[in-house]
């Protein structure tokens, strides 16, 4: 799945609080969250944290992705 599509999906799941959809997303994406070459803002990072908090195993791809330092520090413990 493209990184823009994945980002849109996790943002929607986060905004609706649909934690039960996280496992369906990950099954569809073969347990891989591709966010390569994206610039993440605070809402994107909150959506990523929400997703990571509601999954048991995931591969996260962040090549060439820009994440604000404060947001990165809040995501790191979830990895």
Q: What is the C-alpha end-to-end distance of the chain, expressed in Å?
A: 21
pLDDT at 43 over 90: yes
Output the pTM of the full model: 0.92
* pLDDT for residue 12: 97
Residue 73 CA to residue 22 CA, distance in Å, equals: 22
Q: Is the distance from CB of 52 to CB of 78 less than 8 angstroms?
A: yes
Residue 41 CA to residue 24 CA, distance in Å, equals: 24
Domain ranges of the chain: 3-78
Count of Cβ atoms closer than 10 Å to residue 78 Cβ: 14
User: What pLDDT digit, counting tens, does each position of 8-38 carry?
Assistant: 999 999 999 999 999 999 999 999 999 999 9
* Radius of gyration of the CA atoms of the chain, in A: 11
Q: Is the distance from CB of 31 to CB of 59 less than 8 angstroms?
A: yes
């Amino acid at each position: 799945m493209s990184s823009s599509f994945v980002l849109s999906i996790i943002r929607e799941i986060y905004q609706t609080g649909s934690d039960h959809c996280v496992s369906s997303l990950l099954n569809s994406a073969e347990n891989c969250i591709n966010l390569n070459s994206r610039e993440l803002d605070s809402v994107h990072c909150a959506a990523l944290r929400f997703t990571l908090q509601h999954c048991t195993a995931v591969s996260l791809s962040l090549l060439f992705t820009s994440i604000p330092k404060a947001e990165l520090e809040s995501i790191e413990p979830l990895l």
